[in-house]
């Protein structure tokens, strides 16, 4: 299967935008390897890969594509890919979304339509939100905000210029894989918010420095480093600062 160069180029440009305007999220996003995956509806990560459906990537406006990238990488940054255990995947994704979306919005990012939001879950852990969702407390009455896009024809305005540049982009890299194209299963929707799914991953193995590679990210260390760099630049979002302090310097009861 031929890789969709336009979609990958748009993701690379979104990362470039993040470097300029959201350096904290950019530092984390660079750790994920891009991989086209037409079997998913939107995008996903397991802490190593940023899998994406090119058809979905190509219809998102640039600012919401940046938001999608930031949202997806926040899952491993919060170790959501290691904490699900025996929890229901769809409900776990909902819980994780409710936790990280307020941080992203507070940082000035725009998320794809249908993102999950509820004031009742702001400041909660994913496990706390998960329990409430399972118990049905607030789930039926949750306030799922949706940002309505303008006319679809307007969304693509300005993308013609992008297309000219994208057509000149380099050939497919090792990120692409040969295989049979598949359509998403309509009954398999573990990304209810449409902002990037978290899948189960594995913790990094103990290796020597020379044996380590880009797929052996210690996300705790990556989060601390990204926050430190952004803080030194005066570009650390308030929500992220609170997250890092609570996670690594919790207040004793």
Considering the entire predicted model, what is its pTM? Answer: 0.76
The token pair that represents 17 in the structure block = 């935008």
Give the pairing type, strands 197-198 and 49-52. Answer: unpaired
Under DSSP, is residue 41 helix (H, G, I), strand (E, B) or coil? coil
How would you write the pLDDT of the chain (253 residues) with one tens digit per residue? 788 999 999 999 999 999 999 999 999 999 999 999 999 999 999 999 999 999 999 999 999 999 999 999 999 999 999 999 999 999 999 999 999 999 999 999 999 999 999 999 999 999 999 999 999 844 454 444 444 444 444 444 444 555 455 444 444 434 444 444 445 554 456 788 889 999 999 877 654 444 444 456 899 999 999 999 999 998 899 999 999 888 887 665 5
DSSP structure string for 105-159? HHTT----TT----GGGTT--HHHHHHHHHHTSSSTT----------HHHHTTTH
């Amino acid at each position: 299967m031929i890789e969709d160069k336009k979609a990958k180029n748009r993701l690379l440009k979104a990362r470039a935008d993040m470097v300029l305007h959201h350096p904290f999220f950019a530092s984390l996003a660079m750790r994920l390897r891009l991989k086209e995956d037409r079997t998913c509806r939107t995008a996903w990560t397991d802490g190593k890969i940023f899998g994406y459906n090119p058809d979905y990537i190509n219809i998102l406006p640039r600012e919401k594509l940046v938001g999608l990238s930031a949202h997806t990488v926040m899952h491993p940054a919060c170790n959501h890919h290691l904490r699900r255990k025996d929890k229901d995947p769809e409900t776990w994704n909902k819980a994780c979304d409710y936790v990280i979306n307020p941080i992203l919005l507070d940082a000035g990012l725009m998320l794809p339509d249908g993102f999950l939001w509820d004031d009742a879950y702001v400041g909660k852990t994913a496990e706390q939100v998960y329990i409430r969702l399972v118990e049905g407390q607030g789930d039926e009455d949750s306030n799922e905000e949706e940002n309505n896009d303008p006319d679809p024809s307007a969304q693509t305005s300005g993308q013609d210029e992008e297309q000219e540049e994208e057509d000149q982009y380099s050939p497919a890299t090792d990120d692409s894989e040969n295989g049979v194209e598949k359509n998403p299963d309509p009954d398999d929707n573990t990304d209810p918010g449409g902002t990037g799914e978290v899948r189960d991953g594995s913790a990094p193995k103990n290796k020597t420095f020379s044996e380590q590679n880009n797929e052996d990210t210690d996300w705790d260390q990556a989060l601390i480093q990204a926050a430190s760099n952004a803080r030194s630049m005066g570009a650390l979002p308030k929500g992220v600062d609170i997250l890092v302090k609570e996670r690594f310097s919790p207040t004793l009861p």
